[in-house]
Amino acid sequence: MRLVSTRDARHTTTFAAAALGHAPADGGLWVPASLPRWDDVPALLDLPWAERSCEILCRLLGDEWERSALDALVREAFDFPVRVTAVEGSTHALELFHGPSLAFKDFGARFLARVVSASATGPRTVLTATSGDTGAAAAAAFLGRAGVSVAVLYPRGRVTPLQERQLACLGGNTRAFAVDGSFDDCQRMVRACFADDRLAADLGLTSANSINIARLLAQVPYYFEGVARVREAQPGRPVVISVPSGNFGNLCAGLYARALGLPVEAIVAATNANRTVPDHLESGEYRARESVATHSSAMDVGAPSNWERVRHLFGGDLAPLRSALRWGSCDDHETEQAMRALHARGHVVEPHAAVAWRVLDRALRPGECGLYLATAHPAKFLDLVEPLLGVRVPLPASLAALLERPVRAEPLPADAALLAARLREGAAAGEGERAPA
Ligand SMILES: *Cc1c(COP(=O)(O)O)cnc(C)c1O
């Protein structure tokens, strides 16, 4: 797949180079130079999940990968179920949280881990900022992979205790930094390290954030699965998909799926109180800002990095973007109301899915059916879910075991130079060579 920079299409690269961490020199993000529009989507939708996912990724990446190798890689990465459940009348949930870290980030992280292992020619350092789930998924996906070490930055005190354990007690080739700052600070520090060419080359820096195009492409197949199942349940009705959004990587993948020909009436950009994008779509003016902390912490992003990709897909033009999207937001009070309302209908959901459902519910028009992305397992947000709904959420065994383990995060001020120094020390000490604890 030929990729170009969002800022200057004269900068180009291959999928493998982009996945490994090569960044455009102009400060932009890699995007597909063009996307085909497939004319056999109905036939694709008839395929089973694994076979269809392989087919989609082979079509996109077939110029760089042997089909059999990519096929094996995709089947191994996506070895957990994707479920679509009926919520009420015309609304369904696409459950993306049945992977090892219990959030949709497992799709991107597990695919990326295998792409990196297959493509790397020397040691790599996977560096990633997380608001909770990316770090957990990346640490789990790369744990124990030879020649790769992982460094995860998270805002101290702003991830759930369970998320903190998922990313900070694995040990082995993984390292966690608890940063005194916000997720946006973590992102800035990571970006600064990637912008340092010497550091990036010396450490073989690779990003596991959604600025990595491999993650976004791995998220395209489940949009096809969602539409296939909804059309089976409600034939002939237009489908609207609601995406609970923070950094807007997931929504960007949905727009790619739509550009490839997936029949989606509209995609709903659903945010919490961090309204950078809804405000932009309403007023036309784009104003990035500091994030505010909410219940749906993985969406606490005030300067969403993938918005640049979304804008690029529509040639920087707001009019077609506004017709492809609907949008809305939901504050913590409304999120709690949505969680209660869903519980009354028999569904226990965590705050991110609740935001998606609430905004979808307002955006749906008569005759349409809605699909919202349930991005995390309710067990990941126990401290909110259990007291609010008065339920017990059984913890999956893999997570219960983690709660017994000590957090081994390294505290770090929000300072990119200090991070760079720690990474160099780590590499010198051969962090990546230690066996998993
Ligand atoms: C990361 C995350 C989101 C936001 O996804 P983006 O691709 O950053 O917009 C939503 N929900 C959960 C549970 C997440 O972990």
* Sheet containing strand 410-413, strands side by side: 205-207, 124-129, 148-155, 174-180, 410-413
C-beta separation of 221 from 78 below 8 A: yes
Q: What is the pLDDT of residues 312-328, one digit of tens each?
A: 999 999 999 999 999 99
The pocket around ligand 1, CB under 6 angstroms, is made up of 103, 105, 133, 210, 244-251, 298-299, 352, 375-376
Ligand 1 centroid–CA 246 distance in Å is: 6
- Of 352, 372, 381, the residue with max ligand 1 atoms within 8 A of its CB, to mutate for a pocket test, comes to 352
- Round the average pLDDT of the chain to a whole number and report it: 94
Is residue 435 scored above 50 in pLDDT?
no
- Of 29, 94, 98, 104, the residue with max ligand 1 atoms within 8 A of its CB, to mutate for a pocket test, comes to 104
Residue 159: pLDDT band (50, 70, 90) is confident
Is residue 432 scored above 80 in pLDDT?
no
Ligand 1 centroid–CA 347 distance in Å is: 20
User: What does DSSP assign to residue 204?
Assistant: T
pTM over 0.85: yes
Most confident of the following: 2-6, 19-23, 97-101: 2-6
* Least reliable range by pLDDT among 183-192, 244-253, 334-343, 363-372: 183-192
**Ligand 1 atom closest to the CA of 248, numbered from 1:** 9
Write down how long the chain is.
Answer: 437
The predicted pLDDT at position 21 comes to 86
C-beta separation of 333 from 53 below 8 A: no
Ligand 1 centroid–CA 298 distance in Å is: 5
The predicted pLDDT at position 27 comes to 87
Summarize the confidence of residues 100-116 as an average pLDDT. Answer: 95
State both tokens at 266. 């509209």
Burial (0-12, 13-18, 19+ Cβ within 10 Å), 25: exposed
- Contact residues for 436 (Cβ-Cβ < 8 A; gap 6+): 143, 144, 170, 171, 172, 173
User: For residues 338 and 358, what is the distance between their CA atoms, to the nearest angstrom?
Assistant: 6
Is residue 33 scored above 60 in pLDDT?
yes
Burial (0-12, 13-18, 19+ Cβ within 10 Å), 352: buried
Ligand 1 centroid–CA 30 distance in Å is: 20
Complete domains list, the chain, with CATH:
82-103+219-389 (3.40.50.1100), 105-209+406-433 (3.40.50.1100)
Ligand 1 centroid–CA 375 distance in Å is: 7
Is residue 81 scored above 50 in pLDDT?
yes
The predicted pLDDT at position 237 comes to 97
* Sheet containing strand 30-32, strands side by side: 12-14, 2-5, 30-32
Ligand 1 centroid–CA 108 distance in Å is: 12
Nearest CA to ligand 1 atom 14: 298
Nearest CA to ligand 1 atom 8: 247
CA nearest to 141, candidates 173, 175, 101, 110: 110
Is residue 242 scored above 80 in pLDDT?
yes
Is residue 86 scored above 60 in pLDDT?
yes
User: For residues 432 and 206, what is the distance between their CA atoms, to the nearest angstrom?
Assistant: 14
State both tokens at 249. 């990587």
What end-to-end distance do the CA atoms of the chain give, in Å?
Answer: 38
Summarize the confidence of residues 74-90 as an average pLDDT. Answer: 95
**Ligand 1 atom closest to the CA of 244, numbered from 1:** 10
Summarize the confidence of residues 68-80 as an average pLDDT. Answer: 96
Integer CA distances (angstroms), 26 to 2, 22, 192, 233, in order: 17, 12, 14, 46
Question: How many angstroms from the chain centroid is the CA of residue 88?
Answer: 26
- Contact residues for 158 (Cβ-Cβ < 8 A; gap 6+): 131, 132, 182, 183, 293, 297, 300
The predicted pLDDT at position 103 comes to 94
Using H for helix, E for strand and C for coil, what is the string for 244-305?
ECCCCHHHHHHHHHHHCCCCCCEEEEEECCCCHHHHHHHHCCCCCCCCCCCCCHHHCCCCCC
**Ligand 1 atom closest to the CA of 350, numbered from 1:** 13
Ligand 1 centroid–CA 284 distance in Å is: 24
Summarize the confidence of residues 341-361 as an average pLDDT. Answer: 97
The predicted pLDDT at position 318 comes to 96
**Ligand 1 atom closest to the CA of 253, numbered from 1:** 7
Ligand 1 centroid–CA 79 distance in Å is: 21
The predicted pLDDT at position 436 comes to 44
The SS3 call for residue 127 is strand
* Least reliable range by pLDDT among 24-28, 215-219, 373-377: 24-28
Summarize the confidence of residues 101-127 as an average pLDDT. Answer: 94
Is residue 110 scored above 60 in pLDDT?
yes
- Of 130, 133, 154, 212, the residue with max ligand 1 atoms within 8 A of its CB, to mutate for a pocket test, comes to 133
**Ligand 1 atom closest to the CA of 250, numbered from 1:** 7
Ligand 1 centroid–CA 353 distance in Å is: 10
* Least reliable range by pLDDT among 178-182, 293-297, 351-355, 397-401: 397-401
Summarize the confidence of residues 163-192 as an average pLDDT. Answer: 92
The SS3 call for residue 360 is helix
